[in-house]
Every structure is written in C-alpha cells, then in structure tokens.
A and B are shown apart, each in its own frame.
Chain A
Amino acid sequence: MTGIEHNVPRHAVIAPGHTLTTITDRISAIVLRKRAPIGWWVALGVTGLMSVMLLVSIVRLVTTGIGIWGNNQPVGWGFDIINFVWWIGIGHAGTLISAILLLLRQAWRTSINRFAEAMTLFAVANAGLYPLLHTGRPWLAYWLLPYPNTMGTWPQFRSPLVWDVFAVSTYATVSLLFWYVGLIPDLATLRDRSRRPIARVLYGVFAMGWRGASRHWERYETAYVLLAGLATPLVVSVHTVVSFDFAAGIIPGWHTTVFPPYFVAGAIFAGFAMVLTLAIPMRAIYGLEDFITARHLENMGKVMLATGLIVAYGYAVEAFMAWYSGSPYESYMMINRLTGPYKWHYGSLILCNVLAVQVLWLRRARKNVFVLFAVAMFVNVGMWLERFVIIVVSLHRDYLPSSWGMYAGTLWDWAMFLGTIGFFLFLMLLFIRFLPVISIFEMRTLVPSGSEGDAGKEGH
C-alpha cells in the first residue's frame, strides 16, 4: 500500500471495460444494498452525537442569549462570522465543479459533481445557521427580507449585509434546484431497480415520472446547461458579496479592493480541499476507484495549487498595501498580525495555506492519496485560520488603543462549531446511503460508444 494508483491509466476519467450496465449496477448498488456497512453505522452514530451537540448548543444559545459566545466589544464578530464564511467557502467548490467545469466541458467532473453539489448544500445550510443564530432571535429572521410590515420599515438596500441576504438565499435556492434537477434521471433508475415497495414509491415520487423520452432529455439538458450558466456568475457574486461585508467597512485590514477576487479564490481553494477530504476516504471505502480515478485526484490537486497561489498573492498584496498606503493603522494591522498576540495564528495560516500546498508542484505528491489528504487537511485548517485572522486580528486592535481587547471562542463556540462539522458529515452519510453519490446518467455518457458522440474523449 504505497497509496499510488497503478491499476487505472493516468488520463482515464473512467476505468476501461465499463458499459452502461456495469455503471448503472455498480453505482446504484451502493444505495440498493440491503445492509449498510458497519462502519457507516459507527460514523452515523458519532456524527449523530455531534449533531445533538449542535442542537444542545442552539437550545442553550436561544434560551440564554448570545452572551454565551465569546463575542464582545471590540470583537463583535467572532466564531459566528468566521464559521459562516468558512462554511460558505467550502460550498463553492461544489458549484465550481458542477457548473463551471460543465461549461468548460471538462468530462472529468462527471464522477465528482454529484457529491460536491451535496457538499455545497450541506455546507450552505450550516453557513446559514450562523447569521440566523447571531440575530439572537432566529424566529424573527424573516425581518431580514423585504415585506410590508406593521413597523413601516424596509431594508436598507445600500448595505452589503442586505446584499448578503439576497446572495446567500439565492445561492442556497439555486444550488438546491441544480442538485435536484441533476438527480431526477438517477431517481428514475432507482425507482426502476429498487425492490422495496417504500423505496420505489419514494424514489418514484421524486423522479416525477421521468421516463427518458428524447424530447424530455433535450429540454432537460437545456435546463441543466442554463442552470450551470446561471450558477457560474452566481457563485462568484456570492463570495464577492461576502467580502463586501468586510471591504465596505473602514476597519484596518478590511477596507481593501483585493478582497473580492482573493475571497473567491480562497473559497474555491477551501472547497476543493473539502472535496478531497471527503472523496479520498469515500472512494476507498466504497471501491469507486474506477470512477473517481487518479486523474480526478490529480486535477483537484492542481486546482488547489492554482487557487492556493492566488490566495498567497492576496496575502502578499495585503502586506504590500499595508506598507504602501502610508496609513499608520494599516501598517500597524500588519505588524500586529506578524508580532501581536495572534502571531501564531498568522504563522500557522501561512504554513497551512502557502507552504504546505507547494508540495503539489510534484506529480508524485499529486498522485499519492495520503499526501493529497494531508494537504487538504492543512488547507481546511488554514482557511479557517485565514477568516480568524481577518476578522479577529483586525477588530481586536483598531484605531483607539484604549478600546483594544482580546478575543477567544468559549466552550459553547467550540461546541457549536464541532456540532456543525458533525451535522455536515451526518448529512453526507445519509446522502451516500440514500442517493447515488455519482451521477449515473452522466457517467453513461462517458462510455465510448454510449452517446454517439465524443463525450468520452473530451477534456484531454
């Protein structure tokens, strides 16, 4: 076990010898098998307990108030916003893989887009929890929306925070639509192949009576490509707007024009790290090496390296502008990052996000699943630290030294954060058990004689 893949040709997006039949049977078997493996139950139990921890911390928060969090002046944004940005960034790789790579006709995306889209949905759900809970009274969250009300007020449309409401809710909705539309033909396959009556009825209801008629396929593909075309600018706009939440403020370290591109690249960087974190164990456990090949992992490593370099450029520009602006507050922000009380956070961030990824220049490293997994974990941690550094380090010492302060997450902050990680994995496990993790109908188009065309040869 060297972790290097030998059995599948290097450029293959699907192992040779597969036919429509074997693809359908192999992927649907994961869902249709009678008993889930024992490891699945163990993982479900552990992540279920973590989800309970999330629930407990939400109940505690709602009944007591957000005073149980570490947020306080001068650091009014803490774990809630760090984790919001972290989660929503993770979600972005799903949209990138399913939409942008579809438009670019990258056939290798086909086996990873389904679960990357599921990852997007679950990550956005977790992200959405934070601003809602940070309101303190989440049952009044509808106040964020423009609607005629007895208070006679309306949202302030010039505020990036209102833009964020529009961007994130649109993103969640469109991601759900995209994912569901992509699932319909596979739900029909499960309806036709499942032997359990309840499963047949449920898959049948959600398949909407799909029967694979040629006119249906034609409109379906049009809708799918148009959704991809709509989701592509959407995903860029979402993290741009998230960065506006900071860039429109005048806090040192926030008020900078590099934020939108640097945030978008960081989101893709974090998202691909999470896709690798999930894909590497999943393909080993379920024996999906024929479909998620060495080429997929290598390509994802390349995307991580490229976006990692953009992020590193962002860090360099931040430091340069702090000096070049001539503003003492901006330069102090940078000195404080490097030598202040949170210097270890900044140092670890550079180690995780800039130094660790450089190993991906080597093909040997990109082809070794253990190295890839380790780098992905570094990036997961690094991107969380990046948001911590941007938010906390800028807020804790701004213009007035008399109001400087320190911030640390409380026990409840950590309980909720770990709880969302558990809940995310819990939802992923349920998804793997009940829905096809790989898009079956799109994999069918990769079979060389499959669709009269050259789909199998694209993307080289």
Chain B
Amino acid sequence: MGAAVKGKPPIYGWLAEFAEVGALLDCARAARAEGYTVVEAYSPMPVHGLAEILGWRNRLPAIVFCGGLVGACAGFGLQYWVSVIEYPLNVGGKPFNSWPAFIVPMFECTILFAAFAAVLGMFWLNGLPQPYHPVFNVERFVEASRDRFFLMVLSRDPRFELEGTRKFLERQEPISLEGVPH
C-alpha cells in the first residue's frame, strides 16, 4: 500500500556481507537498536539466537501437534468404522471394538500425519518453494550457501532511508554492501 502512495522504492533493500558470524550478530543487534524491524539475515548454517534478535515467534510446533492429533483420530476412526460399523467380523465372540489391536496402526498414522505436518508446515511458513527472490540478483549472494553471512535491511522497513540506511550499514564495517534490485 505504501508503494502506491510513495511510489516503489528504487531498491528492494541494502545487503551487507560479513565474514564472521559474530559480526553478523553484532550488526543484527545494532539494526534492532536503531529501530529497524523488517530485517533479514542469511547464513550458511543455522545461527542460534539470530531469529530472536530479529524479533520472531515459531508457530511450527503447534502445527505438528495438530497434525499428530488428526492422525491419531483418523487412524483410530478408520479402524473403528471398518471393524465395528462397515465390516464387522465375529471372531470367536471377541468384541468388534478391540481397541488394543488398533493401537499400532493408530500410532503409525499419528507419526505419518505429524511428519507431513512438520515438513509441509515448514515449507508453508517459509513460503517455499520460491524459485525467485530479489536477493538472488546479488552476485555475491551465492557465497551465503558457502561461508559468508549477510544481513539485509528491506526497503519495506518504515525507518528505511536510501542514504541513511546505507550509512548505518557502512558503520558496521561489512566486506561488501550492495543494493538489492527488485
């Protein structure tokens, strides 16, 4: 909406490159202290605490729990419906709802549904698959999957200023600093 009012900002964001994880964390803290909120960091491996610095909550565990719950109910429900309602077999007068025997398939369904919830939930929350992203336009960004750390302040950020943000990032002494084209 902001873009409609002010016109599209000339770049997607400023991307600063660091060689050490410590420098990235310092820069992330500085950006938060400066009041930037739409910031993203990129690293070749998980960096613990980084997402917290950037201000963020994880909803995935709840999704996985629901997936498991649905799986358990579906697994037991299927067996109950088949064995009691649709296709009851009288085997030596044993009860149709012989629930102890149903535990194993119910358990397997719980695991299956929860695992799918974990994987698909992760993709969904992460917005993957996403073949195109502006950050890939920066040539040096291929090093993010090798040994370099990047921090981007997006132009969507309310405090973003083309010159001011660049100067702020320059003070963090990055190896390189580039504007990310849209």
Inter-subunit contact B45/A237 (CB<8 Å): no
**A305 at the binding interface (Cβ < 8 Å):** no
Inter-subunit contact B105/A223 (CB<8 Å): no
Bound Cα distance A238, B145 (Å): 36
- Over the window 93-132 of chain B, the binary record of Cβ atoms lying under 8 Å from chain A Cβ atoms (1 yes, 0 no) is 0000010011011011101101110110111011011111
Inter-subunit contact A223/B78 (CB<8 Å): no
Residue in A166, A451, A452 whose beta carbon sits within 8 Å of that of B104 in the complex: A166
Known A-B contacts A19-B147, A192-B146, A452-B21; the reply to A226 vs B114 at CB < 8 A is yes
Bound Cα distance A185, B43 (Å): 11
Q: Which residue of B lies closest to A187 (CB)?
A: B145
For A155, A214, A222, A237, which residue has the most chain B Cβ atoms within 10 angstroms?
A214
Residues in B with CB closer than 8 Å to A167 are: 104, 108
Residues in B with CB closer than 8 Å to A452 are: 21-22, 25, 47-49
Residue in A21, A192, A218 whose beta carbon sits within 8 Å of that of B58 in the complex: A218
Bound Cα distance A205, B32 (Å): 34
Number of interface residues of A (CB under 8 A): 67
Binds A, one of B3-11, B80-88, B161-169, B170-178: B80-88
Inter-subunit contact A217/B51 (CB<8 Å): yes
**A327 at the binding interface (Cβ < 8 Å):** no
Inter-subunit contact A208/B129 (CB<8 Å): yes
Known A-B contacts A218-B58, A234-B111; the reply to A157 vs B101 at CB < 8 A is yes
**Number of A-B pairs, beta carbon distance below 8 Å:** 203
Residues in B with CB closer than 8 Å to A24 are: 44, 145-147
B108 CB → nearest A CB, Å: 4
Bound Cα distance A214, B128 (Å): 14
The binding surface of chain B is classed by DSSP as: helix
Inter-subunit contact A157/B130 (CB<8 Å): no
- Over the window 191-234 of chain A, the binary record of Cβ atoms lying under 8 Å from chain B Cβ atoms (1 yes, 0 no) is 11100000000001100111111111111111100110011011
Bound Cα distance A416, B68 (Å): 38
Bound Cα distance A426, B174 (Å): 47
Inter-subunit contact B129/A227 (CB<8 Å): no
Residues in B with CB closer than 8 Å to A221 are: 46
Residue in B91, B102, B145 whose beta carbon sits within 8 Å of that of A188 in the complex: B145
Inter-subunit contact A226/B60 (CB<8 Å): yes
Inter-subunit contact B119/A218 (CB<8 Å): no
Inter-subunit contact A212/B118 (CB<8 Å): no
Binds B, one of A169-177, A307-315, A383-391: A169-177
Residues in A with CB closer than 8 Å to B43 are: 212, 214, 217
**B66 at the binding interface (Cβ < 8 Å):** no
B131 CB → nearest A CB, Å: 5
Known A-B contacts A208-B129, A444-B45; the reply to A166 vs B105 at CB < 8 A is yes
Residues of A within 8 A of B (CB): 19-21, 24-25, 146, 152-158, 160, 162-163, 166-167, 170, 173-174, 177-178, 180-181, 185, 188-189, 191-193, 204-205, 208-223, 226-227, 230-231, 233-234, 237, 241, 244, 441-442, 444-445, 449-453
Q: Considering the complex of A and B, which 8 residue pairs feature the smallest CB-CB distances, nearest first?
A: A20-B147, A208-B129, A192-B142, A223-B122, A209-B130, A444-B45, A218-B51, A166-B108
Task: Beyond A214-B41, A216-B128, list 16 extra A-B contacts (CB 8 Å).
Answer: A20-B45, A24-B147, A154-B82, A157-B101, A163-B104, A173-B112, A185-B145, A210-B128, A217-B50, A219-B60, A237-B104, A244-B104, A441-B44, A449-B22, A451-B46, A453-B48
